Structures are given as structure tokens and as C-alpha cells.
Amino acid sequence: MRMALFKNSPQFFLILSMVVITKVSARGPIYTPPSVDRLTDRFSQTGVTQGYNVLYGGHNIQLKNNGSSADLVLDKSSGSGLVSKDRYYYGFFNAAIKLPAGFTSGVVVAFYGGKNILCFWVCVQMSNQGVYPHNHDEIDIELLGYDKRRDWVLQTNLYGNGSVKTGREEKFYLWFDPTQASHDYSILWNSHHIFFLVDNIPVREVVNNAAISTVYPSKPMSVYVTIWDGSEWATHGGKYPVNYNYAPFVASMGRVELEGCTNSSSDCTRRSPSSLEGEGFVKLTQQQISGLQWARGKHMFYSYCQDKARYKVLPPECTSK
């Protein structure tokens, strides 16, 4: 009887509310993402084996679903990585990735244009370093196993013409647990702008203008997806190295989209208005702008444009806005 009365009392609901708040605030405030245009729905999917070749660590790449998806593994023997079969001048690139759970300090998963990222992250990257070793471009989405917390951190970066010493990193906390399900990580790159998306929500836009034109990526790039150990580089000089007692670290990859210009940049402009250089991709929609403001206002915790300790003189695009 006393328990029944207690459950119906205001005090019980206050205590219950405090417990719930404590649980959800362990990772910080929980925000509901806004509705946005689903850019991933505008491009066709391809299989992992159709779009990519093995870059390294083939014994740690496990193909699934007839090659439409894959697991990329990092263990003591090796990391692993894929590289796109084609090089692209401009394009839209997406991979749905589920990240390793548990203690992942020093682990990097990357989706990028570039192959000289020193990381144990999942890296989705675009790069042309192999073709232009001293003058290459790069566009990166890097997912970092954080050194002190169990959260993963999203980092974006880009540079052109080999300007590796001028980092243009921005970092975000994610608004979901990336180890529980796959989430879309995307890059759209054309002559107008580059923007990075997570589950179709833009988190960063880089407009191609006079201030950034000299380092704006402009040469054809391959797309890479990698997982590897970058303890010495990614965790304060090895302070929080990869702990292989928690290995293997598995990043699951699917829902691959690789669509762009493979002949020349002018090939994009000759296509229909719905192409990557067409009216629909010149600027963000109002929904996308709202999503961008939400992501940056709620989740961004580092921008190179605010790092005056690193840059005595900020890069020109930081002061031209």
C-alpha cells in the first residue's frame, strides 16, 4: 500500500525524472535532429565490390550480402582499407557505417579522398596523393575513437595543392550512438562548394570563393574507406594508444553511393540541370541551411577558425565571412 501511494506521489515522479535526465545527459544533451532533404535518395546505390578494390589488409576485409556490404577489421596483424575503382573530379559519395563499440581510443575509421591519414579511425576520404605526391588534394570525414570518453567524434578536414600544414579541421559530437546501427556519412563536392553530411544533415559547408580558391580541391581524386591504428598521431603522441585487448575492431560498411564525373570536370557542366553542377546543387536548400545551423550550434566543439592559439593569423577564409 505504501509503495502504491509512493508511486502516485509527486515525489516519485520527480525522482524518476531525475534518473531519466541523468541517463540521457551522460553523453550530453539529447537533441532531436530536424527534418532535411534526403540527398542520399537522389543517387543510386552500388555494391562494395562494384565500386571499390582492396587497398590493403585484404585478410581483414569480410564481404557480406554478395559483396554489397563489408566489414573492415583492425587487429594486431593489420588494419584494412578500400579504394574506389574510379577517380572523380566532382561527385556525391556516401557510405553507411556502423562503428566499433567499447573502448576505442586511437581507433580511426575514415571516409575520405586521401591515403596518408595517420589514424585509427574509420576514415572516409578522398585524395589524389598517389598521382600528385607533392601537390595533392584531400577531403576527409574521420571518425575518431575518443581518448577519454567512449563517444566517437566526427572530424572533417580538407586541403588542396598539398597544403597539409594548414589544417582546416572541425570536430563534432554525434547526436546518436554510432555503434548501435549504421549511419550515413556523405560528401558532396563540386565547383560551387563542398559540404559534409551525417544522415543527410549538413554539418559543414565550404564555399568556393576567392578567399579559399588557392587551396580548394580541384584535381581528380579516389575515394578511400579505411580503419587503422594511428595511436602515435591521433592520441596526444601515444598517450592513449589502441588497446588490443579489445580487438578485433570492426567497422561495418554498406549503402555505398559513388556518383560523379570520371572524365573531366567539364563533364559535370555538360550534363542535365539535375547533375552535380546543375541548379539543384549550387547552394543549400532552406531545410539544409536549417540543419546546418542546428548541427553547428548544438554539436560542433572545435573549429580551426576559432583556434587563435594555433594560428596567429587566421586563414583568409575565416575572416572573409
Residue 115 CA to residue 129 CA, distance in Å, equals: 7
Mean pLDDT across the stretch 258-285?
74
Per-residue pLDDT, 7: 40
pLDDT of residue 281: 92
More confident residue, 298 or 261: 298
Show me where the domains of the chain are located.
37-315
**Is residue 256's pLDDT more than 90?**
yes
**Range of weakest confidence among 66-80, 123-137, 146-160:** 123-137
pLDDT in the model for residue 58: 97
User: Is 142 an active-site residue?
Assistant: yes
Phi, psi of 277 (to 5 degrees): -100, 5
Which residue, among 276, 250, 266, has the nearest Cα to 182 in the 3D structure? 250
Q: What is the pLDDT of residues 35-66, one digit of tens each?
A: 999 999 999 999 999 999 999 999 999 999 99
> Phi and psi for 246 in degrees, rounded to 5?
-100, 0
* Mean pLDDT within 128-139: 65
pLDDT digits (tens, 9 = 90+) for 78-120: 999 999 999 888 889 999 999 988 766 656 676 555 433 323 3
Residue bearing the bigger pLDDT, 165 or 208: 208
Contact indicator for 229, 79 with CB cutoff of 8 Å = yes
Please tell me the predicted confidence (pLDDT) of residue 152: 83
pTM of the shown model:
0.84
- What percent of the chain stands above pLDDT 70? 72
When pLDDT is averaged across residues 169-189 and rounded to a whole number, the result is: 94
Return the minimum-mean-pLDDT range out of 197-211, 215-229, 299-313. 215-229
H-type alpha helices, 173-252: 231-234
Tell me how long the chain is.
Answer: 321
pLDDT at 219 over 80: yes
- Distances in Å between the Cα of 132 and the Cα atoms of 81, 114, 221, 270 are 20, 11, 10, 26
Q: Catalytic pick from 142, 170, 205, 259?
A: 142
**pLDDT surpassing 90 at residue 69:** yes
More confident residue, 242 or 291: 291
Q: In terms of Cα–Cα distance, which of 137, 298, 113, 303 is closest to 224?
A: 113
What is the pLDDT, as a whole number, of residue 115? 35
Determine the Cα–Cα distance for residues 47 and 55; give it in Å rounded to an integer. 16
* Alpha carbon distance 119, 311 (integer Å): 23
| Residue owning grid cell 560551387 | 192
The Cα 1–Cα 31 span in angstroms is 39
Residue 56 is predicted with a pLDDT of: 94
- Specify the pLDDT at position 67: 96
Q: What are phi and psi of 77, to 5 degrees?
A: -80, -35
> How many other C-beta atoms are found inside a 10 Å radius of the C-beta of residue 296?
16
At 229 the pLDDT is: 83
- Of 90-94, 126-130, 156-160, 249-253, which gets the smallest average pLDDT? 126-130
d(CA 189, CA 209): 14
pLDDT at 164 over 80: no
Per-residue pLDDT band at 149 (split at 50, 70, 90): low
Q: How confident is the model at residue 263 (pLDDT cuts 50, 70, 90)?
A: low
CATH 3.90.1150.10, domain 37-315, yes or no: no
The answer on pLDDT for 290 being more than 90 is yes
Q: How confident is the model at residue 251 (pLDDT cuts 50, 70, 90)?
A: very high
**The C-alpha cell of 123 is what?**
576514415
Residue percentage of the chain with pLDDT more than 90 = 51
Task: Based on the residue annotation, tell me whether 169 is a catalytic residue of this protein.
Answer: no
